[in-house]
Amino acid sequence: MTFAYQTASISELKKQFSALPAPAASVRHGFFRASFVGPAWLRLSARPSLEISGLPGWQGKKFLSVDDATNVLKKRGTLVEALAMRVTPGVSQVDGRQGLALHYVAKNGKPAPLPWRFVRDELRAVDADTLLCMTVIDLPVLRHLAFPFLLQREA
């Protein structure tokens, strides 16, 4: 039976996330297109939330190496890279297991812009071409929430 990512509840997605392994280095390459998953209210609010928080036209993430990634935005019909990230191993804020997370990195000696310096995207591998991700915002109250999305390899 296939897991219904698109319509699963957040608690079901967290349970699925906990059952998956961290993505191996061999998986961390190329462009992964994003899709929003979970309850309808979350899927419908995700894009506007990204628009107002500084990632308008967000398409997904691109692994530049096994340790570095970037967001990919669509601007005037062209794909552009924005907001560099570093892949870091560590304990998941979602389930307490060892895993991998993308952390937004400083640029030119300045911290990552707000709100991204407080954001981490935790990654688990569904298969070699699909990642279940949970965005965690490390701020009071919000750090206990996780916002799920899928990344599917395109290139």
- The domains of the chain are located at 10-153
Element (H, E) at 51: helix 40-53
For domain 10-153, the question of CATH label 1.10.10 is answered with no
Instruction: List pLDDT tens digits, range 113-140.
Output: 888 999 999 999 999 999 999 999 999 9
> How large is the average pLDDT for residues 105-109?
83
pTM over 0.85: yes
Dmax (CA) for the chain in angstroms is 49
Instruction: List pLDDT tens digits, range 44-94.
Output: 999 999 999 889 999 999 999 999 999 999 999 999 999 999 999 999 999
Element (H, E) at 16: helix 10-19
